[in-house]
Amino acid sequence: MCYAFYDVTGEFDAILIARFKDTQELDQFVKGLLKEPDVQRTYTQTVLNIVKEDLNSGDMFIKKDLH
């Protein structure tokens, strides 16, 4: 399941945050993604431990008034 998709600057063009039930589901997703004409390569990282997770909160993306 895809939670977020970001258009970014730097070494990569986009960041996709997703969760899969197992590595087989991840494998199928990545292989399907690579069939898309605009996708040349992927870079996958997996989470070992969740330190903090609140995907329903946009607070960390809201610029705070520092005055």
Residue 30: other Cβ atoms inside 10 A: 13
User: Higher confidence at residue 5 or residue 53?
Assistant: 5
pLDDT at 56: 72
Q: Which domain holds residue 10?
A: 2-61
pLDDT digits (tens, 9 = 90+) for 8-41: 999 999 999 999 999 999 999 999 999 999 999 9
Task: Answer yes or no: is 66 within a domain.
Answer: no
Task: Answer yes or no: is 67 within a domain.
Answer: no
pTM of the predicted model over 0.85? no
Q: What is the DSSP letter of 48?
A: S
Number of structural domains found in the chain: 1
CA 10-52-64 angle, to 5 degrees, is 65
Q: Are 18 and 28 in contact (CB under 8 A)?
A: no
Mean predicted confidence (pLDDT) in 35-54: 91
Task: Answer yes or no: is 6 within a domain.
Answer: yes
